[in-house]
Amino acid sequence: MATPMPSVPFSALLREKASSNNEPQKKSREDYKKAKELEEARKAGTAPAAVDESGRDINPHIPQYISTAPWYFGAKGATLKHQRVQSEKQKQVARVGEWYVKGIDTTKIATKYRKGACENCGAMGHTKKNCLERPRINGAKFTGRNIAPDEILPGELALDFEGKRDRWNAYDPSEYQAVIDEHKKMEEAKRAMKAERLEKGQEDTDEDSDEDDDKYADSVDMPGTKVDSKQRITVRNLRIREDTAKYLRNLDPESAYYDPKTRSMRENPYETTGRSHEEVDYAGENFVRFSGDTVSHAQTQMFAWEAHKSGIDVNLLAEPTKIEALKREFMVKKEEIKKGIQHGILERYGGKEHLQAPPKELLLAQTEQYVEYSRSGKIIKGGEKQVIRSRYEEDVFVNNHTTVWGSWWNSGQWGYKCCHSMVKNSYCTGVAGIAASGNLLTLPPPSEVMPPKSPVPFSKEETKKKVSRRKRRESTSSSSSSSSESSSASSSSETSDDEEEIKKKRLKLAIEKEEKDTEIELDERKRKYNSKYEAKAPTEEEMEAYRMKRKHFEDPMTDFM
């Protein structure tokens, strides 16, 4: 009879299996508590730090997700080896200048066809589809002769950060020698052709020189430009970097204005220093823009437009010589007509002797300072530079005024100081207006009168009731004196009733008006034009309607109404 097996707990079997497979065991509560206390003691410094397999201390403040080795690493104790670079897995980094070996290996040439080689030439490294040799009638697979050398297969090259991004890596400088040799051959051929032409006694024509210049002109970049010879596009830089910046020519803040967005300075930066245009190398873009033949070219363009408008088919870009001839002929005829008109006026009215007087500069004064004025007397060009204070026009007087609107203020109103007029754009009355406004100021102030209450329209029935009540009051007034007190009391009660009804009517109208105004405030499109032009004091009924319809924001039940 078989002896029964001793009963062993299932957890013990699992622990035994885990220990045999080197698997991590689950800690008990006591083990976890002891490990936690040891970790706290190591962080506090009361217990020695953990030591790895090489004898180095492990910092107890390293996070657990860094210090704990993964289960597949096979660590038996505390270690940081998994965080360090593994020397057996690290590849050897290639040096600068090393590159993939290319070409064919001529040192070893096979004599028999090998499996996997090219069926056409017999070389390893490519297939028959990608073979670059001449297709044979009977390939090397079937003949086994004339097997080509094998291609060198590129191996793995571990490049570092700089090696991957070096654009000149594996460049052979000797390849550029072919370009230099080509240029030398072209120069020698040009010298030989020139010497041959000189021996024959032929001079170089302009066409040949132009052809030689145009042949290489596309590849030449002018300073400050970027030329694309294929697209024929020239991109002009705003400034050559060797030139002085415009804003550094004169550091005075009152000098010419510099626009940083367009990098332009239109006026002369040396104007405040008193130096002329001839003494400086830069006098502003306006001086450059209107110097030389710029003005004459603009006049020629205007003449071409006017001539085209008159019916003459001309174009400045297509026919510049024709335009110049027409303009010269036009100016000669214009000058002849002008002189003929002047001569005819002098012959008819006389006064030729007054034109022979010396110029006005010699008659009045002589000066070298050029100042140009407008018709109103303002300085346009020359003289001191005007400081711009506002973007609006200043000192503009209208309707015979000598001061501007807003130069006089009195009792909360603005007006003109020259005539004390409170009406804008009114005609100036001068001293008489000042005297009239002074008399008005001496008058007593108007008494404060409440505005009359607006009449309330009544219907036909209400008017009939009112008439009947009036007749009743008249009949009661003709009664005896004994009943006079009672009649007066009844009439007073009737009048009080009428006033109450009138007040109710006015309050009802005021409430309707308040509701309408609230609706207009919510939708501005319903408001009539100039509806709020006149402002008057509100009546008692309007104030009561405002209080009734006012929204109390402090009331928590306002949103539920």
Question: Quick one: pLDDT band at residue 202, thresholds 50, 70, 90?
Answer: low
Which is nearest to 147 in space by CA: 105, 113, 106, 103? 113
Domain edges within the chain = 19-83, 93-172, 294-356, 391-439, 507-521+537-561
Q: Which range in 69-78, 319-328, 497-506 is most confidently predicted, on average pLDDT?
A: 319-328
Consecutive H or E run containing 41: helix 29-44
pLDDT at 536 over 90: no
What distance in Å separates the CA atoms of residue 148 and residue 120, rounded to the nearest whole number? 9
Instruction: Give the residue, 461 or 33, on which the prediction is more confident.
Output: 33
Residue-wise pLDDT tens digits, 63-76? 989 988 888 888 88
Mean pLDDT of 254-272: 84
Mean pLDDT of 136-157: 88
Cβ neighbours of residue 107 closer than 8 Å, sequence gap 6 or more:
none
Angle value at C-alpha 409, between 406 and 414, nearest 5 degrees: 50
Instruction: Give the residue, 292 or 104, on which the prediction is more confident.
Output: 104
| N-terminal to C-terminal alpha carbon distance within the chain | 96
High-pLDDT (> 90) share of the chain, %: 20
- pTM, full prediction: 0.24
So what's the pLDDT on residue 233? 55
What distance in Å separates the CA atoms of residue 105 and residue 16, rounded to the nearest whole number? 61
Instruction: Give residue for tokens 């290639």.
Output: 94
Contact call for residues 509 and 456 (beta carbons, < 8 A): yes
So what's the pLDDT on residue 4? 44
So what's the pLDDT on residue 331? 92
Instruction: Give the residue, 309 or 98, on which the prediction is more confident.
Output: 309
Residue-wise pLDDT tens digits, 353-405? 887 777 666 666 666 677 788 888 777 777 666 666 666 677 788 888 989 88
What distance in Å separates the CA atoms of residue 60 and residue 50, rounded to the nearest whole number? 8
What distance in Å separates the CA atoms of residue 128 and residue 121, rounded to the nearest whole number? 8
What distance in Å separates the CA atoms of residue 344 and residue 336, rounded to the nearest whole number? 12
So what's the pLDDT on residue 250? 83
pLDDT at 21 over 70: no
So what's the pLDDT on residue 140? 92
Which is nearest to 511 in space by CA: 541, 539, 532? 541
CA distances from 525 to 38, 203, 394, 511, 517 (A): 80, 89, 38, 21, 12
Contact call for residues 156 and 94 (beta carbons, < 8 A): no
pLDDT at 208 over 60: no
Contact call for residues 52 and 39 (beta carbons, < 8 A): no
Maximum CA pair distance of the chain? 167
Instruction: Give the residue, 474 or 57, on which the prediction is more confident.
Output: 57
Helices of type H across 290-424? 294-310, 320-349, 360-363
Question: Quick one: pLDDT band at residue 559, thresholds 50, 70, 90?
Answer: low
Residue-wise pLDDT tens digits, 211-244? 555 555 555 555 555 555 555 555 555 566 777 8
Q: What is the dihedral of CA 416, 421, 426, 428, to 10 degrees?
A: -70
So what's the pLDDT on residue 324? 92
So what's the pLDDT on residue 47? 92
So what's the pLDDT on residue 466? 61
β-pairing, 413-415 vs 379-381, is: unpaired
So what's the pLDDT on residue 117? 93
Contact call for residues 21 and 14 (beta carbons, < 8 A): no
What distance in Å separates the CA atoms of residue 26 and residue 112, rounded to the nearest whole number? 64
So what's the pLDDT on residue 2? 43
So what's the pLDDT on residue 48? 92
Give me the chain's average pLDDT, please. Answer: 77
* Local structure of 228: helix, strand or coil: strand
What distance in Å separates the CA atoms of residue 274 and residue 385, rounded to the nearest whole number? 12
Instruction: Give the residue, 544 or 213, on which the prediction is more confident.
Output: 544
Instruction: Give the residue, 107 or 550, on which the prediction is more confident.
Output: 107
So what's the pLDDT on residue 406? 86
β-pairing, 233-236 vs 225-228, is: antiparallel
Lowest mean pLDDT among 59-63, 134-138, 327-331, 517-521: 517-521
